[in-house]
């Protein structure tokens, strides 16, 4: 049997039981939606493995996902939920669309872009332009930062790119960033759909967690078969190890990317687990996500998950008690690992404490020193050709890995771009903080705002250790858009100052 079909069988054999357990774990009302998700995930995954090229996949996939945009309900909401479900269903490998005439190529077609054309573009056309809870263009503070960062990125390229290339880069950047943000910040009209998007994402993350454990044990990167079958020379096909263990990546393309995917799922798990029928399912899901994070061997995401957990406990009920219990549990675990034979590798794997891959820490320190020196020379709009000054950082794979997203932003767009990028996330979190502190907001809204706030802070922490590769940008803008939606959907509406004003408003609506 062909290698890619063997990998497909393993993935389907893992996905089916997870979907079955999800149907049993969540309430009866969620089962029809979970069944639709199951078929969408299975069909898109199978399509990626059996189609001979990414071009056939990109043409056929929209027809497949269109079957799940049923006419009943809000189709824009459903399109956004499906995008959250299917973003990590297939590795984000891609190939360039050949150009015509003087244009060498148009742009690189990837899974995420094909998915955006199939779901997010129709979602924009299907959603109402404006409504009581749907602000217009630039109607939210975060919009200004998103647009400003987009403009800065295009502006720094303008002096060095041709008009054709500038249009191409603006188009691709719009598809990868502006489109996910706009849909996820505007498409949702009901809080239940917002929870549904998180549930869909977490469900796929649980599948990837089980597959990551399988990859780690069998030393078999399953999803590499897709790009090989498509005939794409993808630079993410790298067999990475740490202390003799395979760094699992599942469909994420890289272990660091898988760590980020599961970190977001760990934060959203705090929202969706409240719907589960019993604590048994809660424990199974919790252990599954923890095991997936462990299999990724992404130490930056481990730290991010620790930060997220501490933030959730600190912003929850009885914070002092729970933080003390967490601290005692951590000390006891490390004490056991230090004295039990065979468990010493656990401590060696920990960042800053263990000895495994200590050269990575030294590389990051040197990267920080060189980058800050370059930024000081050209602080405002980035350092043109900054890679030419970093040759000493070139690794054995022939690349200079900027494993710090903030440094990458500052080197590319300067302090101005970094301010816009960070401002985008901070402004979104201010909205969430307002919901969390508002006593008139519902308990569900305050809890969701707390989880999204903690998740965003943890992701911002993890970006210090992660490159903006594969779908990091798409995930960041999806997270930002969801935060904006949470703030606008759960923020209590202002009451009229005078009873007569409310009566006039009701009559006008009638």
- Indicate the pLDDT class of residue 352, thresholds 50, 70 and 90: low
The reported pLDDT for the residue numbered 38 is 95
Please, which residues bridge with residue 242 across strands?
A: 245
47: closest CA among 4, 17, 108?
4
Backbone angles phi, psi at 105, to 5 degrees: -160, 160
Q: What percent of the chain has pLDDT over 70?
A: 88
Q: What angle do CA 401, 116, 429 make, to 5 degrees?
A: 65
DSSP state, residue 388: G
In this predicted structure, the answer to whether residue 95 has a pLDDT above a threshold of 50 is: yes
Say whether pLDDT at 231 is over 70. yes
Among candidate residues 285, 217, 216, 283, the one with its CA nearest the CA of residue 255? 216
Model confidence pLDDT, tens digit, residues 152-169: 999 999 998 888 889 999
pLDDT tens digits for range 418-440: 999 999 999 999 999 999 998 88
Q: Angle at Cα 99 formed by Cα 96 and Cα 104, nearest 5°? A: 85
State the Cα–Cα distance between residues 140 and 9, nearest whole angstrom.
46
Structure tokens at 361: 């820490």
Residue 18 has which token pair? 């997870």
> What's the rounded Cα separation, in Å, for the pair 161 and 279?
56
Q: For residues 200 and 272, what is the distance between their CA atoms, to the nearest angstrom?
A: 10
Helices 141-157 and 472-490: crossing angle, nearest 10°?
160
Contact (Cβ atoms closer than 8 angstroms) between residue 19 and residue 43: no
Question: Which H or E run includes 94?
Answer: strand 94-98
Top-confidence range, 28-32, 102-106, 332-336, 432-436: 432-436
pLDDT band per the 50, 70, 90 thresholds, residue 190 = confident
Most confident among 1-10, 97-106, 137-146 (mean pLDDT): 137-146
In total, the chain counts a number of residues equal to 510
Name which of 457, 473, 56 is nearest 229 in CA terms.
56
**CB 445: neighbour CB atoms within 10 A?**
22
Question: 173, 154 in Cβ contact below 8 A?
Answer: yes
Task: Enter the pTM of the model.
Answer: 0.93
**Cα–Cα distance, 434 to 424 (Å, whole number):** 16
Beta bridge partners of 134: 131
Q: Give the pLDDT of residue 508.
A: 44
Q: According to the model, what pLDDT value does residue 280 have?
A: 93
Reported confidence tier of residue 241, pLDDT bands at 50, 70, 90: confident
Structure confidence at residue 233 as a pLDDT band (50, 70, 90):
confident
The count of other CB atoms within 10 Å of the CB of residue 32 is 10
Instruction: Give the mean pLDDT of 305-315.
Output: 93
Question: Is 106 in a helix, a strand, or coil?
Answer: strand
Quick check: 496 pLDDT over 80?
A: no
Of the listed ranges 80-84, 384-388, 395-399, 427-431, the least confidently predicted one is 395-399
Longest Cα–Cα distance of the chain, Å, equals 76
- Give Cα 412 to chain centroid, integer Å: 22
CB of 57 closer than 8 Å to CB of 114: yes
Write out the two tokens for 206. 């649980």
Separation of alpha carbons 391 and 305, rounded Å: 33
Q: What is the pLDDT of residue 325?
A: 86
Please, are residues 425 and 456 in contact by the beta-carbon 8 Å criterion? yes
Decide: 60 and 51 in contact? Cβ < 8 Å.
Answer: yes
Residue of 237, 232, 252, 230 whose CA lies nearest to 470: 252
Residue 396 pLDDT level (bands cut at 50, 70, 90): low
Which of the four pLDDT bands, split at 50, 70 and 90, describes residue 349? Answer: low
The tokens for 415 are 């302090």
- Alpha carbons 342 and 350: distance in angstroms, whole number: 15
Minimal CA–CA distance to 308: which of 425, 435, 455?
Answer: 455
Q: Among 436, 472, 75, 452, which Cα is nearest to 272's?
A: 452
What is the pLDDT at residue 321? 86
Q: What's the whole-number mean pLDDT along residues 45-53?
A: 94
Distance of CA 388 to the CA centre of its chain: 31
Contact 140, 488 (CB under 8 A): yes
Are the CB atoms for 384 and 413 separated by under 8 Å? no
On whether the CB atoms of residues 10 and 214 are closer than 8 A, the answer is yes
The DSSP secondary structure of 133-182, one letter per residue, reads TB--TT-SHHHHHHHHHHHHHHHHHGGGS-HHHHHHHHHHHIIIIIHHHH
Alpha-carbon radius of gyration of the chain: 23
């Amino acid at each position: 049997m062909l290698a890619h079909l063997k990998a497909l069988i393993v993935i389907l054999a893992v996905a089916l039981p997870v979907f079955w357990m999800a149907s049993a774990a969540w309430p009866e009302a969620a089962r029809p939606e979970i069944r639709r998700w199951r078929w969408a995930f299975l069909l898109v995954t199978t399509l990626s493995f059996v189609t001979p090229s990414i071009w056939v996949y990109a043409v056929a996939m929209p027809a497949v996902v269109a079957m799940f945009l049923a006419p009943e309900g809000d189709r824009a909401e459903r399109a956004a939920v499906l995008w959250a479900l299917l973003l990590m269903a297939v590795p984000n490998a891609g190939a360039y669309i050949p150009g015509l005439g003087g244009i060498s190529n148009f742009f690189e077609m990837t899974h995420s872009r094909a998915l955006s054309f199939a779901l997010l573009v129709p979602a924009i056309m299907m959603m109402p332009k404006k409504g009581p809870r749907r602000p217009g263009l630039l109607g939210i503070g975060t919009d200004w930062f998103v647009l400003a960062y987009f403009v800065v990125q295009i502006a720094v390229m303008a002096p060095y790119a041709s008009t054709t290339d500038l249009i191409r880069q603006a188009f691709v950047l719009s598809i990868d960033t502006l489109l996910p943000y706009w849909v996820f910040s505007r498409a949702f009209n009901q809080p239940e759909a917002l929870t549904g998007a998180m549930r869909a994402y977490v469900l796929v993350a649980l599948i990837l967690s089980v597959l990551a454990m399988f990859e780690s044990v069998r030393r078999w990167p399953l999803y590499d078969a897709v790009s090989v079958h498509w005939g794409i020379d993808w630079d993410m096909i790298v067999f990475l190890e740490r202390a003799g263990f395979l760094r699992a990546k599942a469909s994420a393309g890289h272990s660091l990317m898988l760590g980020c995917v599961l970190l977001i799922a760990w934060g959203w798990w705090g929202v969706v687990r409240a719907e589960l029928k019993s604590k048994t399912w809660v424990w199974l899901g919790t252990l599954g996500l923890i095991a997936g994070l462990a299999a990724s061997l992404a130490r930056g995401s481990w730290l991010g998950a620790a930060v997220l957990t501490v933030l959730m406990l600190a912003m929850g009920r009885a914070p002092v008690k729970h933080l003390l219990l967490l601290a005692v549990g951590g000390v006891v675990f490390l004490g056991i690992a230090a004295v039990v034979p065979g468990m010493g590798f656990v401590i060696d794997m920990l960042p800053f404490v263990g000895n495994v891959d200590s050269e990575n820490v030294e590389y990051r320190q040197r990267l920080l020193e060189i980058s800050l020196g370059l930024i000081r020379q050209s602080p405002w709009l980035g350092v043109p050709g900054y890679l030419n000054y970093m040759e000493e950082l070139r690794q054995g794979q022939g690349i200079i890995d900027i494993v710090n997203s903030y440094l990458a932003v500052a080197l590319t767009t300067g302090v101005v771009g970094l301010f816009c990028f960070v401002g985008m996330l901070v402004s979104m979190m201010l909205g969430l903080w307002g919901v969390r502190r508002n006593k008139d907001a519902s308990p569900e809204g305050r809890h969701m705002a707390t989880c999204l706030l903690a998740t965003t802070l943890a992701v911002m922490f993890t970006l210090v250790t992660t490159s903006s590769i594969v779908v990091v940008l798409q995930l960041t803008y999806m997270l930002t858009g969801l935060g904006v939606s949470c703030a606008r959907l759960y923020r209590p509406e202002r009451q009229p100052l005078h009873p007569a004003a409310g009566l006039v408003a009701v009559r006008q609506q009638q």
